[in-house]
Chain A
Amino acid sequence: MTDAFSREIQAPLGNATDQAAAPIAPISASPVTEDMTIVAAINATLAAEMQRDERVMVLGEDVAISGGVFRATDGLLDKFGSDRVVDMPLAEAAILGASVGLAAGGMIPVPEIQFLGFSYQAMHQLAGQIARFRYRSQGRLPMPITIRAPFGGGVRTPELHSDSLEGQLTNIPGLKIVAPASAADAKGLLSEAIRDPDPVVFLEPLRGYRGVKGPVPDGDYRVPFGSARWVMSGSDVTIIAWSYQVEVARRAARSLAKQDISVGVLDLRSLVPLDIDAVVEAVELTGRVLIAEEAAPTAAFGAELIATITEHAFYSLEAPPARVSGFSTPYPVGMLEDSYVPDQKRIEAGVLRLLELEP
């Protein structure tokens, strides 16, 4: 949080209102905004990027004629034709493996993995190939590929539709991992991802597709990676989150404000690259940090954050950093998932424990 943009969006410290919750456009962007859901922002951004650069193409399962199972690619086939919006055979490794060749051949592929859990069937192409081609070829074969995938639980899907794999993905050097929480960031980060010369896994909040709505700046709007966003400021505890857990954390913080507990919420926006300075600042502000994530906790990204905090901000801690996360089980079936995915109550309880108060 050292650049001008980051300071621009920072709310005044020490109050627990969420006046800073609305995304604020960077100085260069048009002040005109339109309220959109996250999925609408993604759809509009894909169209804008395809319009801007004819090398950009979308490929995946059911992305063309049906417009995507969540309609994220709706209307693109009509606008850009079947050469650039492609329904692929049902094979995740083929979608990502072909993207390698497309990128080498001068295209900018934006493959969709229908649900992030399905990426297990393409992990060898993602981790073993896409992530390493620039390195393997020492710069000859960069991979400007944006892999879009929805993830996260709470919507009663069958198995492997809800899994959070940030831990696995961030452990793969050569991939950037981005996870927007707001409609404005869905636009700004997706534009940034498609124009990035390196592979980006763009994690879309399944529950937030239509559950999160907000103002989206018009025109060209990009959000740089590695610039975390203060959603709200607070002086007692800081919650660090990304993707849909930002929304859950925000609700918890607003509720706790009624008990005069001042909670800040930091949205990381991108996990790789990580805004280390913002994480350090989060610790320095309150000394008490709670990380909210949906994944199983062992070697999850929250563990990485706590390692980062320990390394860079240990002496600013007032209490051991804490996590609210999924559990060390496979993602459970629908009748159990509400106990697995962190909700507002578990986050509130986590905050109270950090303050040594009774939940």
Chain B
Amino acid sequence: MVSTLSNEDLLAMHCEMIKARTASDRLWSLQRQGRIGTIAPIDGQEATTVGAAQALDPLTDWVLPQYREPLALGRYGPEVLNRFVAWAIGHPDGGHIPEPIRVFPPQISLATQILHAVGLAWAMKLRNERGVVLVFFGDGSSSEGDFYEAGNLAGVLKVPVIFVCANNQWAISTPTTKQTAAASFAAKADAFGIPGVTVDGMDPVAMHEVVQAARDRALDGRGATLIEAVSYRLGAHTTADDPTRYIPAAELEEARQRDPIVMFGRQLEDRGLWNSELEHDAHASAEQAIDAAWAFATNLPLRQSDLFDHVFAQPTQRQRLERASLEAHLGSTS
């Protein structure tokens, strides 16, 4: 482990990975109880997100997630998980990550956020703001046109953006071999005229290292980097998915041997930084974090007519008429 990370950083990353897994498990269980909607677990990708975020400065750097990463963005504060749980229960405020937290809401439309990241990094460059934009997307997203348009544009504009392709081997049921014939996802960087790096996305220290290098490069005015973080999706795609239909059991079992939380815990133990007491505390603190997020989300006020809020800064005449009509209807039926 050659890196600039302090012991404190290493422990913080491990605790955040445990928190992410714990929160993910809890949401899974809540979905199975019928208390929340569809949710995408993070199992196997904790290190990709946590290691990358560790290399960022939350005061200056933006993160644009797809839809798993907010579980593991504790570096940007507990509010990210609070809002993510609100999002998972279907509350409108779940998409509102308040100022000054530099995190976008979850993105459902695959790869669209890669272009948003390029535009945001471009704005920072135009406004001489020091900072970078890091955007997460998956191996499947790399087949979308927006990925290529964004990579191409970032190369042309030389903007401070970091593309993290979380290659978890599966786009729901589609394996990477059906996604691309390229030697790797990182190899696609060649076409954009930017560097492409492949890294073990199940090792938070390795992730930190490559993201830190990409960040230094971006801050130095040398533009974008494409990072392929190779991991394995240890769980289902979402609560609506049954991976036993397509993932060979032996392959999954092999991948489980590389579980990032188990592996990193062992490394920390070997260095005398981790023990069962810390493990116990980390789990207790993770349970507290998801309890707090659940309490936050389930206590948010809500009126049904809130559905009209924030379409425009000022509602149109038609929206006002519709709102009055819905309120009258709800009033008469309640």
Contact = CB atoms under 8 A, between A and B. Distances in A.
A102 B97 contact: no
A100 B318 contact: no
Contacts of A107: 123, 126-127
Interface string B104-146: 1100010010111111111110110100010000000000011
A97 interface: yes
Interface string A93-134: 110011111111111010000000000000011001100001
A88 B150 CA distance: 12
A100 B109 CA distance: 14
B124 A105 contact: yes
Contacts of A124: 109, 112, 146
Contacts of B127: 105-107
A140 B309 contact: no
Contacts of B99: 140
Contacts of A140: 95-99
A89 B118 CA distance: 13
Nearest to A140: B96
Interface string B177-196: 00000000000000000000
A58 to B, nearest CB: 13
Contacts of A134: 310-313
A101 B120 contact: yes
A136 B120 CA distance: 17
A158 interface: no
A274 interface: yes
Counting chain B CB atoms within 10 Å of each CB, the highest count among A93, A99, A128, A274 belongs to A93
A195 to B, nearest CB: 11
A101 B117 contact: yes
A29 interface: no
B244 to A, nearest CB: 32
Contact of B93 (A88, A106, A138, A141): A138
Interface string A160-174: 000000000000011
Nearest to B321: A276
Interface residues of B, number: 41
B316 interface: yes
Interface size class of A (residues with CB under 8 A): 35 or more
B118 A138 contact: no
Interface in A265-310: 272-274, 276
B145 A102 contact: no
Given A98-B119, A101-B118, A134-B312, A93 B96 contact: no
Given A83-B126, A273-B316, A273-B317, A89 B152 contact: yes
Contacts of B37: none
Interface in A139-161: 139-142
A124 B146 CA distance: 10
Contacts of A128: 109, 112
A137 B105 contact: yes
B171 interface: no
A83 B150 CA distance: 18
Contacts of A138: 92-93, 95-96, 309-310
A273 B156 CA distance: 38
Most buried by B among A88, A101, A173: A101
A88 B153 CA distance: 8
Contact of A102 (B120, B129, B150, B317): B120
A142 B109 contact: no
Contact of B152 (A94, A197, A274): A94
B106 to A, nearest CB: 9
Contacts of B105: 136-137, 141
A76 to B, nearest CB: 16
A99 B303 CA distance: 33
Contacts of B318: 273-274, 276
18 contacts: A93-B145, A93-B146, A94-B152, A98-B116, A99-B119, A102-B120, A102-B123, A105-B119, A106-B123, A124-B109, A125-B112, A125-B115, A128-B112, A137-B104, A138-B309, A140-B99, A197-B312, A197-B313
Given A107-B126, A107-B127, 18 more contacts: A83-B126, A89-B149, A98-B118, A99-B119, A101-B120, A102-B120, A102-B122, A105-B127, A107-B123, A134-B313, A135-B311, A137-B310, A138-B93, A138-B309, A139-B96, A226-B316, A273-B317, A273-B318
